[in-house]
Homo-oligomer: A and B are copies of this chain.
Amino acid sequence: MKTVKIGIVGFGTVGAGAAATLLANREVIAKRTGVNLELVRVADLDITTDRGVSVPAEKLTTSADEAIREADVVVELVGGTTFARTLILKALNAGKPVVTANKALLAKYGEELFAAAEANGVDLYYEASVGGGIPVIKALREGLVANRIRRIYGILNGTCNYILTRMEREGADFAEVLADAQKLGYAEQEPSLDIDGFDTAHKASILASLAYGRWFGMDPVAVEGIRDISLADLRYADELGYRIKLLAIIKEISGQVEIGVHPTLIPKNALLANISDVFNGVMVEGDMVGQTLFYGRGAGRNATASAVVADLTDVAMNIASGCPRRVTFRKEEQFAGLTPSGEVQSRFYIRLQVQDSPGVMAAVTKVLADQKISISSLIQHETAGGKEVPLVILTHLACESRLTAAIAGLKALRAVSDQVKILRIEDL
């Protein structure tokens, strides 16, 4: 049986999980694949802290270079986009295949890293970068390879999904739930990467690259987070038959591709709307297969390790079978261009504060009509006094630029307050 030597760089949560998985399940993996994955080095600046996994002392090192030298495959689990980038390039240039979970790095430097992998004739795998333990990279790259990809909707950030789920379930405010999530370790002390949508955007960019054959980077990705989602929005959504999720939205329409991250109303009875707490899910629609959905834990030590070790097994089988780069990212575009800014079409949720006086509704609806935006439903509840009342409007499909113009028009009305909340609607 062929033995493939593994070197892990980064002994944090995921690194410890990957080491533990390799040690615990090596035999079962060997039975399934005929390949023996041998952990030879774990490198980290800190090799004294107990990580709850008993890696023999002689395999621990503070030298990433030593791990690269001794291994047949290098696992990058340090995170960040500086040292990790240098490390991966060094490994690839040394002819060593690399497995990484680093979504920010791939989203920003995917093109450079895959060029280096190609130049050196070695593999670069990254299943754990999107959706944690869910094998969605493999599904897109291989399982659905026969399809033109029409749409991808992803709930890809566990922190955001956890916060939205608790807000909805408990009727609690964003700030309150965020503070509690931070206390419980479900949100970082500096939560911006998660709650402002950037982490989801990195993953969206990676999924789009797989679907359409270009490393898009972050520039074309429109990013909104969940910081401004209020309890009122969740309640109106509920009343209208929707739930609000932070979605990665990737669409191809007539050859034009759009990539965005938006808090989005989706129908309550859709499977995606029923993915709760820290779980992740990705809906992929192909021209042949129709809608598919992939669900599981998007983060956490062992779930992420499951994806890292699956990649390691793939790379090890490539080594054992003498077929490196059997599958890889190929820079061959399968679309015509990006949807020009402003031309993205969507249904929208609009929440306004309006004066409770005659003619206001007529003025508001006229602004929308002037932009050819058609209303699909509208809620204005009776309120117990007060000069201002909330007005919620759902639109049919509308162009983003017209929506922007309409919002400006609404804000210019004396009867409408400046605070207009806009959310997307996707009917899946």
Contact = CB atoms under 8 A, between A and B. Distances in A.
Interface in A309-342: 309-310, 312-314, 317-318, 321-323, 325-327, 330, 332-334
Contacts of A334: 28, 31-32
Interface string A8-51: 00000000010001001100110111100000000000000000
B305 A297 contact: no
A332 to B, nearest CB: 4
Nearest to A333: B31
Interface string A226-237: 000000000000
A213 to B, nearest CB: 6
A169 to B, nearest CB: 12
A21 B147 CA distance: 8
Contacts of A294: 292-295
A330 B34 contact: yes
Contacts of A146: 21, 25, 29, 305-306, 309-310, 312-313
Interface string A266-307: 000101001100000000001111111111110010110111
A312 B318 CA distance: 18
B133 A306 contact: no
Contact of A330 (B31, B147, B333): B31
A31 B213 contact: yes
A135 interface: yes
A127 B148 contact: no
A31 B332 contact: yes
Contacts of A326: 317-318, 321, 323, 326
Contacts of A327: 33, 317
A145 interface: yes
Nearest to A275: B271
A288 B148 contact: no
Interface in A358-392: none
Contacts of A314: 142
A87 interface: no
A33 B143 contact: no
Contacts of A24: 287
Contact of A145 (B32, B145, B330, B333): B32
Contact of A271 (B29, B295, B305, B322): B295
A424 interface: no
A52 to B, nearest CB: 14
A138 interface: yes
B134 A292 contact: yes
Contacts of A147: 25, 306
A157 B260 CA distance: 36
A336 to B, nearest CB: 13
A144 B135 contact: yes
A94 interface: no
Contacts of A17: 288
Contact of A289 (B133, B275, B290): B133
A213 B271 CA distance: 32
Given A31-B332, A148-B28, A288-B305, A139 B139 contact: yes
A31 B212 CA distance: 10
B145 A33 contact: yes
A258 to B, nearest CB: 19
24 contacts: A21-B288, A25-B287, A29-B146, A31-B332, A32-B213, A33-B145, A133-B288, A134-B292, A135-B139, A138-B139, A138-B142, A139-B143, A142-B313, A146-B305, A146-B310, A271-B271, A286-B306, A289-B302, A292-B295, A293-B293, A293-B294, A293-B295, A317-B327, A323-B326
Interface of A: 17, 21, 24-25, 28-29, 31-34, 127, 133-135, 138-139, 141-148, 213, 269, 271, 274-275, 286-297, 300, 302-303, 305-307, 309-310, 312-314, 317-318, 321-323, 325-327, 330, 332-334
